[in-house]
């Protein structure tokens, strides 16, 4: 059997390790955990959606665990986030104490710093606590992008399609 290889540039990636050795950086969440690689299609706006259904962190007041689903969506410009590093990034929140609103906005800032995307949205769909469900949506547009109107149209259509499937 012949093995083929894509044009993806992966030599610099560390989180996956080599030969089964994975580097875990769980001392706390930070944008440095997120590894990226070049986007092979920077002239084609497309959406990447990553859903992490096993999210946990700690309430800063009670220390009790918060659970939820984190969905990170973005239109890449020059960089794409490597999926194992995003999982490690989410794992880094397990012993982190913060309010849910702060978490979604901090994640958005970290993704924007690591990726410099045309558009990015973090959806924190947190499990009910005390009979209250909290969903936090934080969003960023690169308003300086030449094709920002095209990006906004793509995002609007994406949101409409997603809302049809969630109803």
66, 110, 120, 142: which one is catalytic?
Answer: 66
Q: Is 146 annotated as a binding residue?
A: no
| Interatomic CA distance for residues 79 and 37, integer angstroms | 6
Clarify whether 59 is annotated catalytic.
yes
| Interatomic CA distance for residues 64 and 66, integer angstroms | 7
11, 59, 120, 142: which one is catalytic?
Answer: 59
Please say whether the beta carbons of 71 and 11 come within 8 A: no
Q: Is 78 annotated as a binding residue?
A: no
Q: Is 81 annotated as a binding residue?
A: yes
Clarify whether 110 is annotated catalytic.
no
Residues 72, 75, 81, CA angle at the centre, nearest 5°?
60
Q: Is 101 annotated as a binding residue?
A: yes
Q: Is 112 annotated as a binding residue?
A: no
Q: Which two tokens stand for residue 143?
A: 């308003």
Name the binding residues. Answer: 81-83, 100-101
Name the binding residues for substrate. Answer: 81-83, 100-101
Please identify every residue annotated as catalytic. 59, 66
């Amino acid at each position: 059997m012949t093995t083929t290889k894509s044009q993806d540039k992966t030599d610099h990636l560390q989180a996956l390790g080599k030969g089964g050795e994975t580097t875990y950086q769980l001392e706390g969440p930070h944008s440095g955990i997120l590894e990226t690689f070049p986007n092979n299609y920077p002239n084609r706006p497309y959406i990447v959606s990553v859903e992490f259904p096993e999210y946990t962190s700690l309430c800063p007041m009670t220390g009790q665990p918060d659970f939820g689903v984190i969905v990170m969506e973005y239109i890449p410009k020059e960089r794409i986030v490597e999926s194992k590093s995003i999982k490690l990034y989410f794992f880094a929140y397990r012993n982190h104490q913060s309010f849910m609103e702060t978490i979604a906005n901090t994640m958005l800032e970290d993704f924007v710093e690591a990726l410099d995307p045309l558009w990015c949205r973090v959806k924190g769909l947190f499990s009910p606590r005390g009979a209250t469900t909290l969903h936090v949506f934080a969003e960023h547009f690169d308003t300086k992008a030449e094709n920002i109107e095209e990006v906004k149209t793509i995002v609007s259509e994406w949101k409409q399609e997603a809302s049809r499937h969630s109803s």
